Every structure is written in structure tokens, then in C-alpha cells.
Structure 1
Amino acid sequence: MKDLLSGKVALVSGGTQGLGAGIARAAAREGASVVLTGRNTARGEAVAAELRATGTDAVFVRADLCDVSQARAAVAATLERHGRIDSLVNAAGMTARGTMLDTTPELFDQHIAVNLRAPFFLMQAAIADMVRRGEPGTIVNVISIDSHGGQAFLAPYVAAKAGLAGLTKNAAHAHRWDRIRINGLNMGWSATDGEDVTQQQTNDAGADWQEKAAAELPMGKLGQVDEIADFVVFLLSDRSGVVTGSVIDWDQNVIGGLG
């Protein structure tokens, strides 16, 4: 399939690296004009320049999503540049560790701010524009397979991502008659930039950790950024039909399966 997002305007949060950057590239390849947000100006400008070199209308808007006003400003910048927003991807996130016993209120609040509150208010602003114009739109929230329960050392992360899964369904139900389709993707273990940092710096894994991990997985590989990005773009596009309110497990382990 080609030109799945031809003529569309897409805002991608967390588009400066990893999966967010992969989604920005995939959306651009399929014809979208792309606005990407993040905190790292150098990385963001580099991704935007890369997309512009391919002929895409792409721009980076710096935003610290812990600040609701900056999240809203990213949508406002999109509207100022293009006059509308057709698609939103909430790909920004944080995975700092914390258990039920050692998580501080500050760490908990950071997780809620980045992983739940920011997507909420980005969605609010984007949906408001779609409703005002009376036009359909699409949203994909990048959640996590950990929203089903996760590991003990990810307690605040799980709390926030489980909230985002519920929010995805609530918003999809609320705005189905506005023809705004909202879906979520529960990412499993994937070969992202962030995961590479976690494995090598937090888990003291070697540079070959991906190869070792892949050998122990059913499909013989971790989730790949380009594959996930293509699926997100499919969900953003008309080719995904009427699907809304779905939170899809992107993983090779089956929740509830034993042995």
C-alpha cells in the first residue's frame, strides 16, 4: 500500500527518537505532513531535516510534555502551520523504574504526567479541532503490554499505561459519532533506542543483547520499530476501516497463556 496518509497532517509526540521517529518516518513516506515533538532539540531538528530532504513538509516543535501548556502548544503550532490536524500519535513516554514499595510521589507524578496526562490533553486539543471542523480524524496511543500487569519494578509505569488503555477506549466511545477513530497499541519487548539504553546501562547487558534475547523468543526476534511504525500508520489510515476503541497487543507472548 502506498500514500496511506496522502494529504493528511500528523502530529507525533516523542518523534525525536526510537519508535516515535520511526512513526514520523513512516507517516512521511505515506504522504503525510508531519509535526514532531520532543524535548531534545538537536535530535528533533535532525529528524525533521531528514524528512524534509525527502520532500515532506516536516517541522519540529520543542515540547516538554510534563507541562500541559507545552503539550497544548504543540497542537496549536500544528494548527497554525497547517490549519488542521488529521492524525495524532502519542508515542512519547518514560519507563523509569519503581516498585510498589520504593516509588516516591515525585516519580509517580512524573509517570502520570508523561504517560497519561500528556496524551489526555494532546487528545483533548486535537479532538477539539476535529470536532470544530466537523471532519473525521484518527488517533493512536502507544501504550504497553505492561498495561496488563507488568513487572514488579514498573509499578508507576504500569499504573499510567493501564490508565491510558482505559482512556483510549473511553475517548473512542465518546467520539465515535464524530467519526474520530481512536486506538491503542500495547507494545511488547521491542528493539528501540530506549530499550538499548536500558539493557546496556541498567541491566549491564552487552552490545549483543538483542541477538541473545532474540534466540529466546518465539519469533526469533524482538519487535522491530519499522514494523510497529507501519502498523501505526495503517491504524491512522482509512485502510483500517471502522476500527476504533481497540487496544491491540503487539507481542509474541499471549496474555493468559501458560506453559
Structure 2
Amino acid sequence: MMDTKQLKISTFNDALNQIEDGMVVGIGSGSTIELLVPKLAEKMNHEQIEITGVCTSNKTAYIAKELGVRVVDVNDVSKIDIAIDGADEVDNHLNLIKGGGGALFREKVIDAMAETFIVLIDESKCVDYLGQTFKLPVEVDKFNWLLVSKKIAAYDNLKVKRRMVDDVPFITDNGNYILDVALHSGIDPYEMHEFLIHLVGVLETGYFIDVTDQVIIGTQNGVRILNKSNDVL
């Protein structure tokens, strides 16, 4: 029986096979992508190809540069050919919750720019509704974070907590706070995102809706590949 790490790694080949010489590649964040980047560097060396990486977090950029991947700022490219990232949850329509690592704003920018957006997960990330197993991250300005959290809580009697790490408020790469919102099955992701994004002080939400082109799932019975055209888990 494969563990979670092995399940993640099992998804890599199907993603890497879609990367070609000269592509601009959006490189995501989190544990799955940190395992993927060395494999990407191996592919570049083995096949003698060059790619340009645009990274969603400072940590990923550092790892990629150390392995010889050319990394540029998102403002230095006009398009991204393919973006690869993990997810915290994937629902039956390939919608996602992302942002467990706090990089949701940068992830959303890069994933939206990509002509093809691929998500790599293990089977434990498949859910019946968004919020079933993971809280929704919301990136907010430090200035009025408490006021924003109270407005979110009042939406549907929701529990909202400012993310803390070692008793210190977590700070995103953009210098903001993250509010983690516990959701329930009755909340519509489209309506909730619209409510949140129009609150003054909210920069972005961890909802990634209608942006995923392909989900590659590592399961105990092999790899499953789901495309937008046949988007039922």
C-alpha cells in the first residue's frame, strides 16, 4: 500500500510529459510541488530542454533556482504555457480549495494566466463539497482583518480564525494575514466567493473555480486523469 508521498509522486510523469522545450511553466507551492521540482530539473537535464519558471512562492523559487531552473518574475512574461500545482481539496466539478500554504493570491494570478492548468493530488483530496475536510483560506489586509473576520462569520454563523504559526500571526509572501473559514455543505462556492471578494480588505479567496483543465489523482489503484470535458470525480 502506497503512502501519501508515493501517491503524489505517481502523478508526476503524466504532468511532466506535457512540458516541452521553450515553455513558460507556472510552478506552484506546497509539499507536492517541492517533490516535483527536482523531477522537473531531471527532465530538463536528461532531455536537454530549457524552460522558464514562474513561481507562486518564494520558497518554490529558491528550490527551482538551486536546481538550475531559470526563474523569472510574473511581470516579465506575457503568458504561461502550463501551470502545475497541488490542491487542498477538489470537488466533483474540478473546483478547488487552495492556499493551505498561504500563497493563494500568487497561485491564482499564475493559474489564471496559464493556457493549461494541471492539478496534482492524492485521492484523499477528493471531496463531496468544498470545505468538507479543509478550511477556506482568505487573504486579508492587516489593517482591518478583525472587522473582515466578523463580517465573514456573520455570513452564515461561520467560524473564522486568523492563522497563527507558533503563536505569531502567519504572514503571506505579500505581507498579509490569512483567515481560515470553516465551511459547511450548504454553502455555494460561487456565491461565497462573490461575497468575500467584495469585502473591503479581502485580497483573494482560496476558491479556485472554473480554472482547472486537468486533475491527476494518485490512487491505490493507479493514476486517474480527469479533464475539464469529463469533470466528474
Structure whose residues are more often strand by fraction = 2
Q: Normalized against structure 2, the TM-score is what?
A: 0.39
Kindly indicate whether structure 1 or structure 2 has the higher relative contact order, using CA contacts under 8 Å at least 6 residues apart. Answer: 2
Greater fraction helix: 1
